[in-house]
Structure 1
Amino acid sequence: MTDRNTRLTQVSSEDLERLHAEADELAGMQDLLNKLPMGLQVESLTEAELERLRQIARSPVQMLCGDSLMLWANLNRTHQTLAAQ
């Protein structure tokens, strides 16, 4: 039984909190991706793409203005239409 205990990884409460925060962040980013018609998964993104998605999730209006304004308008229109039904 001691062999099994030495093989177990010790996880501190800080590590657990950090893992929960990362999981919540990834779930939020996946929710954002689910709104898009591309069928992307967070797990398939590169680190650069993940960082860009983090920036969009933090401040979507500022990040999606300009070239992506139509995408932002479509996302809002879709959700307003669904909420009205």
Structure 2
Amino acid sequence: MTVKAGRYEDLHAWIAEHLPGTRGFEGNITVEVARNQDEPNRILFVEKWVDRESFENYLAWRDETGVIAELAELLDGDVSFRYHDFMGV
């Protein structure tokens, strides 16, 4: 995702406020957030879930509670999702 110019501090505070809910949601194994060194407005969430259904349930909950709409106000463009399976090596 890309944070709007001048809104990084707001996004950082938003993440700090909401990340405990992500980590505590049923099915979440881990979540890490990284900021791109070369493009500091680019933010990456790397999340590990028990299964995709757990993540989709989490997204539905966040949407219902209005948290996704709050996030959208801080972003320039849409959030893109990519789903991967760890290879175990």
Whose helix proportion is higher, 1 or 2?
Answer: 1
Q: Same fold per TM (> 0.5)?
A: no
Higher gyration radius (CA) = 1
Q: Normalization by structure 2: what TM-score?
A: 0.29
Q: Normalization by structure 1: what TM-score?
A: 0.30
